[in-house]
Amino acid sequence: YRGNSGSAFLCDIGFSYEENQYGEKMGEFYDIRSKNRIYLAELTIKHDIDTFYYSLAPRYRWGTWTEYSITAGTYWSFNDGSYLELSLSPISEDLKEIDWRSSINLSLVF
């Protein structure tokens, strides 16, 4: 968050790869029982206008399993350091059963 006046726009594109291996020690060696490979592509868009900003961040995971998610959020700063932050994040593996997650943060400075 920028503390000064004015406005800004941010667009960030990301890609990551993760691999996990689970195994059992058999003498001096390990017998790998399972391996997970996950790829993640994401885009973050944020618009900052004076003491307010909103953001949108869709994500797509694929590999061993698939997951779709998007985070939408707002932030408003007031009274020299106090702020209110809201976010909503639907997450789904198949776009049919959606797990809705939300958060509200209020910070007050006296």
Q: What is the pLDDT of residue 1?
A: 46
Distance CA 41, CA 110 (A): 41
Model pTM above 0.85: no
Number of other residues whose CB lies within 10 A of the CB of residue 73: 17
Nearest to 67 by CA among 76, 58, 75: 58
Quick check: 5 pLDDT over 80? no
Q: What is the pLDDT of residue 4?
A: 60
